[in-house]
């Protein structure tokens, strides 16, 4: 209960009248753009940036803008207009407020992942690929090579694409 008498037992609703911007005020991460930021984002959207993330976030921020020139759209309406999920709109607003515009327009670098085929497993793959194929087969397929590496307990699991990429890089 928010302390305002409503419903049964209340003669009338004593809550103050809501302004047009009031329904949005409960949001945790409010987007309030100044005129320079709006101009920058409009140019970014109009230029048709080759990167999807900055253009999409710029569209979201322009529609969610609570500043004096902003349209103040709801997350649901913005998500529908930009063709994204409501959670994407929320995360875009959150990124702008917590990280700032320039940082939020860039993707975070992903940490490097070690290859499944290390210095021991890679020569084993080449050895298996150069050996005679299984009975009933004319040649090794990527799936067969991946299955053979798992059967030989060289790796726990491996995708055929990893096998292909490794063989392509091997002289």
* DSSP for 99-158, written as a single string: H-HHHHTSPPPPPP---SS-TTHHHHHHHHHHSPPPTT-SS--HHHHHHHHHHTTS-S--
Over residues 147-163, the pLDDT tens digits come to 999 999 999 999 999 99
Structural domains in the chain (count): 2
Cα–Cα distance between 163 and 158 in angstroms, integer? 8
Cα–Cα distance between 68 and 157 in angstroms, integer? 56
42/99 same-domain check: yes
Calculate the alpha carbon distances from 156 to 44, 112, 134, 149 in Å.
46, 20, 21, 8
pTM here is 0.57
Over residues 55-111, the pLDDT tens digits come to 999 999 999 998 888 888 999 999 999 999 999 999 999 999 999 999 999 888 889
Domain that holds residue 48: 22-104
90/137 same-domain check: no
């Amino acid at each position: 209960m928010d302390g305002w008498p409503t419903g049964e037992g209340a003669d009338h609703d004593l809550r103050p009248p809501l302004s047009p911007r009031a329904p949005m005020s409960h949001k945790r991460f409010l987007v309030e753009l100044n005129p320079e930021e709006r101009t920058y984002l409009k140019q970014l959207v109009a230029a048709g940036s080759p990167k999807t993330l900055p253009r999409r976030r710029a569209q979201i921020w322009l529609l969610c803008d609570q500043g004096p020139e902003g349209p103040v759209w709801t997350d649901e309406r913005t998500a529908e207009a930009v063709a994204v999920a409501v959670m994407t709109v929320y995360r875009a607003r959150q990124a702008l407020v917590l990280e700032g515009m320039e940082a939020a327009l860039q993707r975070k670098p992903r940490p490097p992942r070690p290859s499944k085929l290390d210095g021991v497993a890679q020569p084993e793959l080449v050895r298996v690929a150069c050996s005679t194929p299984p009975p009933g087969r004319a040649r090794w397929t990527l799936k067969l090579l991946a299955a053979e590496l798992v059967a030989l307990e060289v790796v726990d699991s491996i995708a055929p694409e990893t096998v292909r990429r490794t063989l392509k890089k091997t002289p």
